[in-house]
Amino acid sequence: MNSLSQKLRPLDGSSSQPLYQQLQRSLRDAIDRRLLAPDDALPPERDLASELSVSRITVRKAIDGLVTEGLLVRRQGSGTFVCARVEKNFSKLTSFSEDMRARGRTPRSVWLRRAEGTVTPEEALSLRSSPGTPVYRFHRIRFADDAPMAIEYSTVLASCLPSLEAVESSLYEALEKSGNRPVRALQRLRAMLFSAEQAELLRANEGDAGLLVERLGFLKDGNAVEFSQSWYRGDTYDFVAELSAPT
C-alpha cells in the first residue's frame, strides 16, 4: 500500500508559503481527489512528520486547519479521520442533532441569542398566527464535532414549550417532551453567498457558497409550531432526496 506521503503533492521548503499551509493544501487536495476517502484514518502525526521530514508542529497545525474546515475529525483515542460529507435526506423530518448523531458526529451548539418575543406582522403569514402572539427565539451556531455546519434562527410558538429555558441541546427534544414535536413540515432550500458576518461565525470566507434552508413545522392539529432559517456551509452538507415516478 502506498504511504500517504507518496500521495501528497511534495512540500517546497524554499517557498514563501509556510510548510503547514502547504501541507494543509496538499491534504485538502488529496481529500478532494479521493486519494483519501471518507472515513480513512490518517497516520499518527509522529509518523506523518517523519515521512514528510517536517516537524510535528507543522503536521499538527495543518491537521488543526482541516479540522476547522470540517474536512477531518479527531476521534478521541482512535485518531484523525477524513470526514464524510453529511448527507441529509430531504424528505425526513429529523432534527440537526439526530442527523449528526446518525452519522457518528457529535452535535453541539453555540448560543447567539435566546429571547422571548411576539409574532411580527411579517412572520404572521408564515407562522399562521396573529401578530403579537408570544414566541421564543433561538439563534445558534450548530456544530458537528468541532466543525461549524450552520447558523440557525428558530422561532417557536411559546405555547409549545414550558419555558424559554426548556431548550437545552436540542429544540426537537424539548418539543417532543412537551408533546409538540412537528409531525409535518414545509421546507424550502435556496443557494446563497455568505456575508462577512455569517462567514466569520462559520469560519468560512465572505462570498463562499451556502444553502439557506427554511422549515415551517406543523403539529398534528395543523397549527404551526416552528419557523427556522438555517444557513448551511455549502462545502459540508449534501441534501439528498429519493424521487419516485408519478403514478
Compute the least distance from the CB of residue 204 to ligand GLP, in Å: 18
96 lies in the site for ligand GLP, by CB under 6 A: yes
Q: Among residues 21, 50, 68, 95, which is the contact residue for ligand GLP, using CB under 6 A? A: 95
Nearest residue (CB) to ligand GLP, 215 versus 233: 215
CA distance 186 to 191: 17
Q: Which residues contact 46 (CB under 8 A, 6 or more apart)?
A: 56
Q: Which long-range contacts (CB under 8 A, 24 or more apart) does 184-189 make?
A: 184/93, 184/217, 184/218, 185/93, 185/215, 185/216, 185/217, 185/218, 186/215, 186/216, 187/90, 187/213, 187/214, 187/215, 187/216, 188/213, 188/214, 189/90, 189/213, 189/214, 189/239
Nearest residue (CB) to ligand GLP, 20 versus 227: 227
Contact string (CB under 6 A) for ligand GLP, positions 30-69, x = contact: ----------------------------------------
Enter the DSSP assignment of 17: S
Compute the least distance from the CB of residue 139 to ligand GLP, in Å: 11
Q: Which of residues 99-118 bind ligand GLP (CB under 6 A)?
A: 107
Total binding residues for ligand GLP by CB under 6 A?
A: 15
Compute the least distance from the CB of residue 128 to ligand GLP, in Å: 16
In sequence order, the β-bridge partners of residue 86 are 237
Q: Which of residues 193-212 bind ligand GLP (CB under 6 A)?
A: none
Positions that interact with ligand GLP (CB under 6 A):
95-97, 107, 152, 154, 170-173, 213, 215, 226, 228, 230
